[in-house]
Structures are given as C-alpha cells and as structure tokens.
Structure 1
Amino acid sequence: MAYIEGFVCAVPADKKDAYRKHAADAAPLFHELGVARMVETWGDDVPDGRVTDFKGAVKAKPDEVVVFSWFEFPDKATRQAANEKMRSDPRMEAMGADMPFDGQRMIYGGFEVLSDEKTGAKAGYVDGMVLAVPANARDAYRELTAKTNAVIKEHGATRVVEAWGDDVPEGKVTDFQGAVKAGGDEVVVFSWIEWASKAARDEGWAKIMADPRMNEAMSHAPYDGKRQIYGGFSPLVDM
C-alpha cells in the first residue's frame, strides 16, 4: 500500500528561490533512497483561521510563507528503509546544514493512504488540508470522503488523496497534533487535492460549494471541521 511522508514548514518570503533550489537539488538523493515522487508547494491562498490555521501550525512569522509538501513511497517498508538511510547518509547532514528555513518549526509524519483518486495529470495547483478524526471513525471518514471526493473530481480536480496518520511524532516546538489540536483519541489526516491550474481550482470550488450533494455529505462529517486547516498552494518542485 502506498505511503506518504507529509511536511509543513515556514519559509521566509525572500527565500523562495533558495528553497526551490534546495528542494530540487535534494530530489535526486531522495529518489535514490526510495522516494517515488516529491512535491513542494508554496503558500498562495492560505487564510487565517479562528481556531487553527497553517500559519499557526508552524508558528509562521509575518515575513514567512507556509510550504506544504510530501514524499510518495510505494509502501511503508520503503519509507522506513529510506529514513534509516537518510539518518546515516553524510549528504543529508550537509543538506541539513544549509536549509533556508527554521527546521525546528517544521512538522512532519508518516501516513497510510486511505484513498487515492487520480487521473495522472500533473498538478498545476494544490489544496492542502490537515484535520483530526476520531480513531474509531476511520471507516465513517472513508465513506464520507468517497462521496465528497467524487463530487470534487466531477468539478475538475485531477487527484484527491486522503492519508491516515500512522507514524506522526510529537515535536518539541511544533507538530501535526498541535496543528489541529488533536485529542488523545484522534488521528491526524493529511490530505490534498490536485488541480490543473488555480483558475480550474477556483471555478471548481464555486461549483462544489453550490452542489447539494456536498452539503448533504458534510452535514454528517465525523470530525470537527472548525479545527481543520487548509489552503491553496502553487507547486514549486514536482519530481
């Protein structure tokens, strides 16, 4: 089963090109170690929230931009082996010494893919989401997203991925649990939607929000939507 390593971090706005280069330069090494696809996206439409939001999740400063990114692995075993290799590879140490952002505030974790609805088209724009779902509501959440994701794809999305928290560590400064104020009986879900372009995304969401099937499905959501964090992101690196 496919496995996801998800990341969110805050990068100074004036370091965008440096971050892109840092990520692109690192991609060949990650692929060598087992990553099938690496995607880095730059915050473009990331709203402030009343309870939670992406900026608060990584304690972003006013001059910083939220980055939403992920690695795709063919399975968990490949991911585990890759992480083990990364810990002992001197190239990773050199890379870590030259990061154009504060790595202590980066949040990360491993996620099992619950569902992956895709067409194969490359992402031109991404909606990223993180939420907390009661552990005993996994099946209910999967059933809900089967309905909502069908509507989202019908209105233009090229891919929708839902990934269930599996190896999500607690952090000293920030972490995924704190990002969505997850309780002890809740699991973090890492999710994203791919679109052909921002225009397609904006047009699609207008139709989605007006679709009665979406409103009906979401009225039975088995989680607290007020603690969900979300935003729109422009791809920086997709390799």
Structure 2
Amino acid sequence: MTYIEGFVAAVPETNKAAYTKHASDAFPLFKEFGVSRMVETWESDVPDGKVTDFRRAVKARPDEKIVFSWFEYPSKAARDAANEKMMSDPRMAEAGKDMPFDGKRMIFGGFDTISDKGAPAGTGYVNGSLFAVPNANKADFTAFAKQMADIFTEYGATRVLDAWGNDVPAGKVTDFQGAVQARDDETVLFGWIEWASKADSEAGWEKIMGDPRMADAKVPFDGQRMVFGGFEPIVDLS
C-alpha cells in the first residue's frame, strides 16, 4: 500500500517562484531514489485556528505562506531505501545549499496509508489536514475515514487519502506532534482531499456540509485540534 512522506513548511511569499523551481528541479533525483509522486501545494485558504493551525505548526511569519506537500512511495521499504540514498548522495547536499525557506521549521514524517479512495485526475486544488487520534481509536478512525471518503468522492473529490503516523520524529523547533498538540497516547494523521479545481471544492463542501450523514458521523478524535486548509498545487510530478 502507498506510503506517504508528509511535509509542511513556511516559505517567504516572495520566494514562491524560487521554491517551485527548487522542488521541480529536485524531482528527477527523488524519482531516481524511488519517489513515485511528488506534490507541492501553496497556501490558498489557510484559516487561523483557536487551538491549532498550519501557521502555528511551522511558526510562520507574516510574510510567509504555508506549503503542504508529500512524497508517495509504493511501500515503506521503498521509502526507507530512498532516505538512505538521500542521506549519502552528494547531489542532495549540493541541492540543499540554497534552500528558499527555513528548513529548521519544516515538519516531516512517514505515514502508513489506511484509506485511499480515487486517483489523481488533473488535481487543481487540495484540502490538507492533520489530526491527533487516540491509539485506541485506530480502527474507528479508519472506518470514519473510509466513510468520509465515500461522501467526498460522491460530491466531486477525485481522491481522498488518510495516513497513520508511522515514523514521525520529534523536532527541535517544530514537529507534527506539536502541530496538533498530540498527547502521549495519540498518533498524528496526515491526509488530503484532491479536487479538479477550487470551484469544485467549494461546491462539493457546500453539498457535503448539508448531507445528513455528516451530522450522524461519530468523530473519533478531538476536532478542535484538527489542522486544515486549502492549497493550490504548484508542483505535481510522477
């Protein structure tokens, strides 16, 4: 099953073109190492939250925008092998010399896919999300995620994926655990919804929020600590 390496970063707004080029130029190397798809998305509609949000997750400054991104691998073994190659290949060190953002505040981790419905189809908009889910609720969350995927694809989403934290390191400055204020008995979830366009996303969400199945769904996590936002793809390569 698809293994996900997820990232969230704060990038100066003035560096958008430089970041896009940096990511695009790096993809041939990542593909050589084993990445099957790389997606980079740029902040479009990222609200401030009362408890958690994307901006706090990476300590974003007023002049920075949020980038929500991921690598897809065919398996965790492929991801682990790729990371070993990345750590030892001198080309990676060279590419990292002129980063167009503060890498110390980037959060990253590895995630096992637990629900994946649909397929990329001319993705034009992404809803990205992070959750803290009690370990004891993994089965309930998996069932919940699959139920939500059925509803979202019914109303126009092209793909809905949720992944359970498997290798999510603690960071010195920022990390996924801090992003969602995860407790010791909780695991971080990384997920997204792909749409053909922002207009499709907006129309789909309007219908989804009026669907009685949403009101009846039992949410197996603390929704107040969920982190979410809307993003426009700037790089989507496979």
Structure 1: segments with no counterpart, 5+ residues: none
1:159-178 matches, cutoff 5 A: 159-178=159-178
Who is 2:220 aligned against?
Answer: 222
Structure 2: segments with no counterpart, 5+ residues: none
State the Cα deviation string for residues 155-195 of structure 1 (Å, max 9, x = none).
Answer: 11000000000000000000000000000000000000000
Does 1:11 find its partner at 2:8? no
State the Cα deviation string for residues 106-164 of structure 1 (Å, max 9, x = none).
Answer: 00000000011014413110000001000111100011112121111111100000000
Please tell me the residue identity of whatever aligns with 1:29. Answer: L
> Percent of aligned pairs with the same residue?
61
SS at match of 2:172: coil
CA distance in 2, matches of 1:224, 1:165: 16
Please tell me the residue identity of whatever aligns with 2:222. Answer: D
SS at match of 1:166: strand
Who is 2:89 aligned against?
Answer: 89
CA distance in 2, matches of 1:4, 1:234: 19
Q: Are the aligned partners of 2:120 and 2:194 in contact in 1 as well (CA < 8 Å)?
A: no
CA distance in 1, matches of 2:200, 2:154: 12
1:114-129 matches, cutoff 5 A: 114-129=114-129
State the Cα deviation string for residues 73-128 of structure 1 (Å, max 9, x = none).
Answer: 00000000000000001111111111100000000000000011014413110000
What RMSD over aligned residues (CA atoms) do the two structures have, in Å? 0.6
Q: Flag as ranges the 4+ runs of structure 1 deviating above 6 A.
A: none
CA distance in 2, matches of 1:208, 1:52: 23
CA distance in 2, matches of 1:26, 1:43: 21
1:20-59 matches, cutoff 5 A: 20-59=20-59
Residue correspondences, number: 237
Does 1:105 find its partner at 2:105? yes
CA distance in 2, matches of 1:94, 1:142: 40
- Name the TM-score, length of structure 1 as normaliser: 0.98
